[in-house]
Structure formats: C-alpha cells, structure tokens
Structure 1
Amino acid sequence: MALCISFGESSTTTVSAHVLLLRFFDKTIESFKYNVGNLFFSILPCEPTSDLNARRTGGQGMDAVIGDGFSNDKQCDGRGGDPLVFNILDSMLKGSLERLKSMRESIYLVKNGVTGHVLDVNYGGTEAIRDLCLEGKLGPALWLRSKMIQKGFVPDVLTHNYMVNGLCEMRELEKADWLIREMQEKGPSPNCATYNAFIKGYCLHNKVDKALYLFSSMANSGIKPNRVTFNTLVHALCKRGLVTDAKKLLGEILDDDEKATSNVITSTILMDGCIKSGDIDQALGIWDSLFEESTPVDVISYNVLIRGFCLAREMKLAYSYSCQMLKRGLLPDVFTYNTLVSSLCKSGKFDEACYIHGVMLRMGVAPDGISYKAIIQGLCVCGDVYKANGYLNFMLEESMIPEPLVWNLIIDGYGRRGDLGNAFAIRDHMLSFGVVPNVFTYNALIHAQVKIGNVFDAYVLKKEMLLKGLFPDVVTYNLLIGAACNAGHIRFALQLYDEMLRGGYKPDMITYTALIRGYCIKDYVKEAEELLFKLKNSGLPIDHVPFQIIMKQYCRMKEPDMAFQLYQKWLAGNKDFPI
C-alpha cells in the first residue's frame, strides 16, 4: 500500500494488489490448517495403523505426515509416544500459531487499506517528506505532499513547517508564500512556528519590511507571536542599525508581564546591536538592567560585551569582565579568547596575544584555526616570521591543517626577509600536507625572488603557475614588470605589459608607475611623459609618485626648465591632471 501511494499508482492498481495479497494469505492459511491437523494426529494415542493411514494419508502411511525419523524410531505403544516428541511438536505448534496471528493482523491492515483507513501509510509519507526537506530535496517533498493529498491524506502542520523552513533556506520565498496560502485554504492551519520560519526567511534575505508585514498579519489569523518571533525581528532590525526601532517594537508588542521577565536572548541581541552601532554606553545600560531583573546571563552575553570593549579598545574592561565570568562560575570559551587575541594583535600587542594563547591551553580550551590565524598573521606583519612558523608547527602537531592563507603569510614573511630557502621549504611542506598552492602562494614566492633581484627565476615561477593550471593576476604582472624595470630591462617589461593586455588584464596605477620608472632609468623621459598622459586618459586615480619620478629625472639630467613645466602641469590640477 505504501509503495502504491508513494509512486502515485491508481486506485484500481491498489485494489488489485490487495486482492492478490488476500489470495496469497488464504492459500497460506489453508496450507497451515492442513499441516496443523496432521501434527494433531501425530500426537494422538495410536489407532490401528491401517485405519489411521487410510483416513488421513490416503494410504501413504504416517511417514508421509511426520517424516521417516519419527515413524521408524518410535512406534505407537498406546501411551502417546515419547515426551521429547511432544515437546518438539508443542514448540512447532506455538510458532505456527504466532505466525498465524501475524498474518491475520496483516490481512486486517490490508483490508483497512482498501477502505482508506490506514494510518501507517500517512505516517510513512510524512516521515519521507521531512527527510527530503532535511536533505534539501524540496521538489520531491512537494510532489509527495500533492500525491498524499490526492489520496486523501493531508500531512500535519509539523511536516508543512519542515517544507516552509526548507523553502526559505533555499530562497524560494514565493513558493513558501504559496504553501502557506495552501495551508490556510486546505489545511492544516499554520501555527506560530510556520510564521516564524517564514519571517526568518525574509530576515535572512534582508527583506525586513515584508517580515514586519507578515508579523502584523499573524494577529489577523488569530496567532499570537512568541519570543522566537520577537527575537528574529529584533535581530533583523539591529543588523540594519535600527536599535531604537527594535526597542520600540518590543515596547509595543510585549505586555507588562513579558516586559518584567526580560529574556536574555533578546537583551543579548539588543546589546550586540548597540555595540555594532558604536553605542557601548547603551549596551552597558541593557547589561545592568539584566542584573536588576535578576535575569541569569550566559557566556554568549559576556562574549558580546567583551567584544564591544575590544572594539572600543577598552582592553582593561575586557579583562575585567573576563574575570567576572570566572567569579560567576562561567568559563570563557574559545570565542572569548579569540576576541581578546584578535584585538591584541590588531593593537600590535603580540606578546600579550601569545600570553592569552597560553592561558587558553592552561584553562583546557583548545585553540582553533581562528586563534592560530590571528597570532600568525600578527607575527608575520611585525616581522617575527620564525615565531609564526613555530605556531604553524603547533597547529600541525594538533592535526590542524591550516588554510592556504596561513601558509602564504609565512612564505611571504620569509620572502620579505630574503630567506628563499625557508620560503620554498614552507611551500614544499604545504604540498606534503595536501594543501594546494594558489595564485597568492606564487605571488609571495615571486616577490621573494624579485626582492633579491632574481628576475629570471621569478619569471620561471610564473611559467610554473601556468603548468599547474593557475593564471597570473595583476599583482603577478606588476611584480615582474617592476622587477624588470628596476633591473633596466625595459624591453622585457614592455613585453610583459603587452602580454598583460592580451590576457585581458587591466593595468593599474602601479603598472604605469613601474613603467615610468623604467623609462626614466633608461633616460627615455619623453616616453615616460607620454605614458603619464596615457595614465591620465585612462581615468585611473593618480597620486604624486609618477610626477615625482619624472621631475627627479629632469633634475638629474640638469634640465630644470622641463622639470618646472611638469611642475606647472602638476599645479594645474583639475585642468590637466587630477591631484
């Protein structure tokens, strides 16, 4: 029955299947009755063999009923036979009766299925729809729903909520709206969870106006919003910077009892909105009101407040509230420590960041990829690449394979120090852990080669990129063009420039500045000025660097008049060149 409904077979096919199944059960029962009758005769006191065989076996003898083993080993002696035989037959009889009971129950279900009263099929269909929704297969789920409705089975509201939530997550808001209208017309009636899923879908896709309209329509449908509804709308409004509107909304829709019992989730959302809008004082006011109302706070609330202090560069207050967490019996989690570490690294306090990392380990909180990434990035920025490499080794010891960005930071750090050996060793180490180098990896290696003047080796790396299926970007060409110009190879730089144009890349101000410097090194000042005009006509923003390069070259050539003319063009500003 379930298979027929699932695959949408016709009612005629379903009834035929039922008839065939009933015929099969009838034959099985008849065969069972015959065998049970034989078993009963086998345990009765013996009659004359000829009469018994003639009456039950048609002259074939007892062997045809209970087998050669029983008939040959034990002969009837008028006392009913051996007890072992009776025990075995008794067990067989009990098992046969249990099977008969199961078959009768199956026949009952099939007969009910013919009359349309099977609840198991409806239950199986709803479970299938929910599983399909969890797997993201909304199309088959909606198809199965329509087939169930055609058969007279309407899925419950929970199953419909699965479909509404899945459609909203897949940005199918129009289909979700259609499904809710179907629920209102054909049943089951939507409940608060249905509207919450739809409101959340609108908020996730930044359609707060429609979410608010849907919220207002809940009252018309006789459905009272709950805390989930409020929190979803408040969070959406706070994300848009409308903290005041969020508070006003709460004041309008919450009654006095609900206002008196403030919810920690709602307060946390409001604090986060205030912090993101830069109003730390208002966030502290909400925090104080939580304690005045004796509302129990959690780790998430503390994390939001600590993050606000870190954004405001109030590290002393951040440390203070971290200690307050411990006094209240709340252990800081990895998000707490990551907030502190990231803020310290942004402030250039790398020693303190490393100390907090050590505190994490002593407190039994395992650092994650964000913790290590913040410290490694900070150490590489300040030039301590060797210490950053140590933290990379810590990650690998903990079986944490970093993302390519972390490897690239260390490769670039070694390259800036001119340590090509370690830079390429990190690249090889990266490959050994199955991390594939990307364009940024090769750009870091090219920059390392360029820094020590190895223009040819840098160009070889660019060819290696192409062999690996990676395409150079504007940064790659800028590095190579700049290196060629600094080495006095202006023709090679122009070849790279032409290759860049043929590849569809758009040169930027760095490209033109490098070429202007290359022309000036070769004393091609007129070509440099022409390129400067080309840069001006390209519409790219221009700073003082290309002008300064040409002016210095005129001064070195002892042509102050030409330098003064260029200076007048520079002063002209908006007339000839933008400043």
Structure 2
Amino acid sequence: MALLISCGEVSSSQFTVLRLLNQSLDFVSDNVSRIFARIFTNLRDFEMRLSCTDRPQSIPVDHSHLYTENWFSDKKDYDQKGDPEAIFNVLDSILKSSLDRLASLRESVCRRKSFRYDETISMHTSIMRDLCLQGKLDAALWLRKKLIHGGFIPGLITHNHLLNGLCKLGNIEKADGLIREMWETGPSPNCISYNTFIKGLCSVNKVDKALYLFSTMDKYGVKPNRVTCNIIVHALCQKGLMGSTILEEILDTSQASAPLDIVTCTILMDSCFKDGNIVQALRIWKEMSQKEVPPDSVVYNVIIRGLCSSKKIVAAYGFMCDMVKRGVTPDVFAYNTLISALCKEGKFDEACDIHGQMQRCGVAPDQISYKVIIQGLCIHGDVARANEFLSSMLESYLLPDVLLWNVIIDGYGRYGDTSSAVSVRNLMLSYGVKPNIYTNNALIHGYVKGGRFNDACQFKDQMRYTKIYPDATTYNLLLGAACTMGRLWLAFQLYDEMLKRGCRPDNITYTELIRGLCWKGRLQEAENLLFRMQASGITLDHVPYWILVKKYTRLRRLDKACLVYKKWLMTRNGEAACPSDLNHMHTEPQ
C-alpha cells in the first residue's frame, strides 16, 4: 500500500487506511492471548510449519516472522506449555513491524503532498506569466497576492514579467509599489528589473525620475549595464537633450567601462538626423568605422532614412551599395525608404528600378512597397503602370487593402476611363474586398468626368441597396455636374434630396449652387444664398466670393463687386456682421 501511495496511485483515502490499521492494532492488542495460545501449544509443529513453508523470491519477507522464528529457536528448554512472555515478545515484534510500515506510509503521503504542492506553484507562476503577456495584470497581481498569503513568494523572473506588463500599460504607480514590495519581502530586484522600470518611466515622460533611479542603483547594490545606459540615452535624445551635460557624462561613464556600443551609436545618429545635423551623424558613423564596430542593418536603415529625409537620395543609395559590399543584406525597410523618397521627388522610373532590384535580390516586397509606388504612379497620372503593379501584387499572393483599389479606381475616374474603373471594381469584388463610400464616389467621379451623368445618378440610386449610402461628397459631385450642364433645377432637386436624407451640406455644396446661379445670371439669388451660408455658421472660404466678384466684374457692375469684396474682407478678419448691415453698406465710386 505504501508503494502505491508513493507512486501516486492512491488518493486522499489514506486516512481511511490509517483508521483501519489502528482498528486492526487494537483488535490484536485486545485478543492476542486468545489468538496466540493455540499457536504456541506445540512448538515442534510450529517450527515444522516454519521450516516447511516455501516463500517465493518475488514476495518481500516480513521481518516480524523472522524475529518470531529466531526467538523460538533460542528457547531450547521449552516445556510445551504456553509461555506468556513468548506471546508478548511476538506481539512486540509485530507492533514494531506495524509501526515501521506506518512510518513508511506517512513518509509516502508527505512526499505526495510535497509533489502536488510544488506542481501547483509551478502551474500558478506559469499562469501569472501568461496573464502578463496577455495584458491581464489585475488577475496576475491577484494570483501573486494569493500565493504570498499561502506562504510562497514567486521568483524574480515572474516579478520581472509583472513589472514589464505594468510598465507597458503605463501603470507606473503599481510598478513602483511592486519594486518596493520586492525590496521588503523579496525577491530583490536585479538590473533587469530596474531596466524595465526605467524604460516605463521614460515611456510616460518621467525622465527626471528615471535619471534619479539610474543614479541610485549603485546605492542598492545593483550596477547599471549597457542596456540601462542606452535606455537613458534614448530618452534624453527624444527630449532634445542631445548635447546636454548629463548625456555626455553618461556616455563617458559607459564608454569608460565598455567599448563603443552599436546600439548607442544608432540612437545618437538617429537623433542627429531628426535634428537635421547630418554632419554630426556622419561623424559618429566615421568613429564607428575607425573603432571597427561592425554595422548591422538597423544602422544602415537609420542612415538611409535620415539622408532620404534630407533629400540626399544619391548619398542614401551610396550607403545601400556600401551595405551590400560589407555583406549586410538590405531589408524591406531600406528598399521602402528609398522607393518612397524617389516617388516624392517624382522619379518614378528610378523607383520602379529599385522595386525590380528588390525582387531580384530575393527581398519580397510587402504591402508598403506596393502602396508607395502605386500611389505615386496614380498621382503622377500613370494609372496603367500602377495597375500593372497591382496585378504583380496579386500574383505575389498579397491582397491589397481597399485603399489601394480605391486609388486605382480614382486614377481611372479622374481621366474619365469608367470602363477600366468598373473593371478594377469587379476584380476587387472577386477577391472578396468590400467597396466603401470612397470606392463609389470614385466611380461617380469617373462617370461625371466621362460625361455619363445619367449613369452616375443611377449608380447613386443603387448604392442604397448595398447599404453604402451617399454622403456629401457624392451629392457635391452630382451637383457640380448638373450646374456645369446648366440643369440648375436638377441641382436644387439633388440639394433637396440631400436634406431629406439627413446629409448636411457643406461649403462645396453651396459653392457649386452659387456657381450654377451665376452661370444662369441669377446673381441676386446667388448673393442671398451666400448670406444664408454665412448666417448658418458654415465655414466659408474665398471661392464663393470670388465667383460673385468675377461675375459682377464681367458685367461691369463694379459697385456690386466691391461690396462683395468688402464682405469677404470682414469675414476673413473675423468681424461679425448681420446680412442687413451688409446690404446697407455704401461704396465709393471706383
């Protein structure tokens, strides 16, 4: 039974076993005289039974029977009468054996309990770490408190997980309290604990407290390492303290105890490029080269991005070539930075060449690689070439997001190529990408540009069946097209529909209506509409005033043109004037 318990095959029923064992011992103690009287009446028969009994080798020997046999073998003068001392001696040996088995049973039970306790603690600490990684810090702290009340303090690694989770969530107060509890109850914080807490302080812009903690680490017997210095250096650079005395002291202290660190150099160069100090950044690069610090891809990416931000694309490309010569393979970030800079400069041929070189070098373009170049080509007007990149993206098993589809559809729509725009939209639907309001507005813009106003209105009516309802941009496109065609009644009909559907008109809506009224020569109505716009609180720009001034000037009504101009000046200067005051203004003859 003890063997089964030690192997873990007996549950909590050991108490029942102990109870039965005690009852058995009581039964033997009360009735031992009666039980052993018959046994010892004939010693010779008993010895013969003992000698003739054949015990198998596989069954363990009961030591109590050996003690009994040895005791009888010593009694040579036994007169075949019951000896009470013999009975009690046998009883003592049996009780001793039973107590030995009881002790073994208790040890097995204790070992089983200890094993289960250790297993439970390990499981709880593992759960705490998982909760920290999932951001469930309240549950993790509750479990820690429960373990401490149970007499077990989690290890240092578990506490560091808790600190990291609290700092990531910005809960610095609880992280500070946890550090204090670690000093009071254990385990004592190490350098990793301080690095985590200092980084958390810097992330919430408490750099002063981080500096104080950094300066007092030696007082508590924790020596800062290179990671600690890099965290402080990065925080000071983000605060714009690149040339501060504190930063120089930290750099001197760290470089005195260890050689030049590549992470520190990367942080300093990135800060110099962001401040526009390219000379200082390249000086740090030169120092790295002189001290034979091997650069990695992160260092090159910082340099390439900094040079591209300063529009020094040729120098950035030179560093990319140097990157390849040193055996450092450019990653997708370096290529994307260079492609984006070339597209911003309008050098789309060079950008396409870099994109092709990227694929030849075995670097797979990502969503950003295609997005930058497709948007650049569409803005430049080369929509067909952008569509080719979209097809290449699909062949590479990259599904474009709805923004890229909209860019190409809008590109075709700007040039009135509605057939290509509809084709791209159908391809978009076939890949399971749902259009949005910008997709539909781009198609309506294409219909309007292509002179297919009726198709645009029909498409607007079909939008409600797809649960994508027209917005102000949709109506503005149709209003502008109706005014351009001289269908002013249709423009106001769309305006009324816009109001009925709860779509609020904006500045562009009223500007298009004013333009349409001026086109028809209905200048007084246009001026009244302008007054209503101003009274309703809609933010106005100069365009509606400019339309009226231009129309009055063409009709040689300079007094009216000057009046509208003065109204615009008052609006621009922020003066509050009601429409009645504006109507009674007098002008001097021009």
Q: CA deviation at 1:261?
A: 1.3
1:178 and 2:203 equivalent? Answer: no
Identity %: 51
Whole-angstrom CA distance in 1 between matches of 2:294 and 2:488: 70
Q: Which range is displaced more, 458-467 or 361-370?
A: 458-467
Q: Is the contact made by 2:241 and 2:247 (CA closer than 8 Å) also made in structure 1?
A: no
Q: Is the contact made by 2:359 and 2:365 (CA closer than 8 Å) also made in structure 1?
A: yes
Q: CA deviation at 1:156?
A: 0.6
Give matches, 1:291-306, under 5 Å: 291-306=289-304
1:151 and 2:150 equivalent? Answer: yes
User: Residue type matched to 1:329 in 2?
Assistant: G
Q: CA deviation at 1:567?
A: 4.0
Q: Is the contact made by 2:479 and 2:509 (CA closer than 8 Å) also made in structure 1?
A: yes
In structure 2, the partner of 1:167 is 166
In structure 1, the partner of 2:13 is 20
Encode CA deviations 1:82-107: one digit per residue, 9 max, x unaligned.
xxxxxxxxxxxxxxxxxxxxxx9998
1:411 and 2:378 equivalent? Answer: no
User: Residue type matched to 2:440 in 1?
Assistant: Y
Give matches, 1:330-479, under 5 Å: 330-479=328-477
In structure 1, the partner of 2:310 is 312
Q: CA deviation at 1:254?
A: 5.0
SS at structure 2 position matched to 1:244: coil
Root-mean-square deviation (Å)? 3.5
Encode CA deviations 1:41-65: one digit per residue, 9 max, x unaligned.
xxxxxxxxxx9xxx99xxxxxxxxx
In structure 2, the partner of 1:124 is 123
In structure 1, the partner of 2:510 is 512
Whole-angstrom CA distance in 1 between matches of 2:109 and 2:431: 59
Whole-angstrom CA distance in 1 between matches of 2:203 and 2:451: 51
In structure 2, the partner of 1:277 is 275
Give matches, 1:547-562, under 5 Å: 547-557=545-555, 559-562=557-560
Whole-angstrom CA distance in 2 between matches of 1:296 and 1:334: 21
Whole-angstrom CA distance in 2 between matches of 1:150 and 1:447: 69
Whole-angstrom CA distance in 1 between matches of 2:392 and 2:496: 45
SS at structure 2 position matched to 1:367: coil
Encode CA deviations 1:215-245: one digit per residue, 9 max, x unaligned.
4454553322222222223223333433234
SS at structure 2 position matched to 1:243: coil
Give matches, 1:80-119, under 5 Å: 110-112=109-111, 118-119=117-118
Q: Is the contact made by 1:271 and 1:283 (CA closer than 8 Å) also made in structure 2?
A: yes
1:239 and 2:232 equivalent? Answer: no
Question: Gaps spanning 5+ residues in structure 2: where?
Answer: 1-9, 21-48, 55-102, 578-590
Q: Is the contact made by 1:493 and 1:515 (CA closer than 8 Å) also made in structure 2?
A: yes
Q: Is the contact made by 1:18 and 1:110 (CA closer than 8 Å) also made in structure 2?
A: no
Q: Is the contact made by 2:417 and 2:450 (CA closer than 8 Å) also made in structure 1?
A: no
Encode CA deviations 1:462-495: one digit per residue, 9 max, x unaligned.
4444433335444334323323332334454445
Whole-angstrom CA distance in 2 between matches of 1:452 and 1:540: 31
Structure ID, larger Rg:
2
In structure 1, the partner of 2:587 is none
SS at structure 2 position matched to 1:434: coil
User: Residue type matched to 2:155 in 1?
Assistant: D
Whole-angstrom CA distance in 1 between matches of 2:241 and 2:471: 41
1:321 is aligned, of 311, 319, 322, to 319
SS at structure 1 position matched to 2:280: helix
Give matches, 1:464-543, under 5 Å: 464-494=462-492, 496-497=494-495, 507-537=505-535, 542-543=540-541
In structure 2, the partner of 1:202 is 201
SS at structure 2 position matched to 1:448: helix
In structure 2, the partner of 1:142 is 141
- When residues 108 and 140 of structure 1 are mapped into structure 2, their CA distance, relative to the original with a 3 A threshold, is farther
Whole-angstrom CA distance in 2 between matches of 1:574 and 1:154: 69
Whole-angstrom CA distance in 1 between matches of 2:529 and 2:372: 42
Question: Gaps spanning 5+ residues in structure 1: where?
Answer: 1-16, 28-50, 57-103
- When residues 395 and 220 of structure 1 are mapped into structure 2, their CA distance, relative to the original with a 3 A threshold, is same
Q: CA deviation at 1:431?
A: 1.4
Encode CA deviations 1:156-192: one digit per residue, 9 max, x unaligned.
1110111121222233333333322322332222222
In structure 1, the partner of 2:262 is 264
Whole-angstrom CA distance in 2 between matches of 1:503 and 1:485: 21
Q: Is the contact made by 2:236 and 2:247 (CA closer than 8 Å) also made in structure 1?
A: no
- When residues 562 and 159 of structure 1 are mapped into structure 2, their CA distance, relative to the original with a 3 A threshold, is same
Q: CA deviation at 1:283?
A: 1.0
Q: Is the contact made by 2:229 and 2:254 (CA closer than 8 Å) also made in structure 1?
A: no
Whole-angstrom CA distance in 2 between matches of 1:431 and 1:389: 16
Q: Which range is displaced more, 410-419 or 205-214?
A: 205-214
Q: Is the contact made by 2:153 and 2:186 (CA closer than 8 Å) also made in structure 1?
A: yes
- When residues 429 and 25 of structure 1 are mapped into structure 2, their CA distance, relative to the original with a 3 A threshold, is farther
User: Residue type matched to 1:179 in 2?
Assistant: L
Whole-angstrom CA distance in 1 between matches of 2:398 and 2:107: 59
Q: Which range is displaced more, 224-233 or 293-302?
A: 224-233
User: Residue type matched to 2:126 in 1?
Assistant: E
SS at structure 1 position matched to 2:509: helix
Whole-angstrom CA distance in 1 between matches of 2:251 and 2:237: 17
Q: CA deviation at 1:200?
A: 2.5
Whole-angstrom CA distance in 2 between matches of 1:106 and 1:399: 66
Q: Is the contact made by 1:450 and 1:480 (CA closer than 8 Å) also made in structure 2?
A: yes
Encode CA deviations 1:398-427: one digit per residue, 9 max, x unaligned.
100011111111111111121111111111
SS at structure 1 position matched to 2:13: helix
TM-score by length of 1: 0.76
Q: CA deviation at 1:111?
A: 0.8
Q: CA deviation at 1:528?
A: 1.7
In structure 2, the partner of 1:86 is none
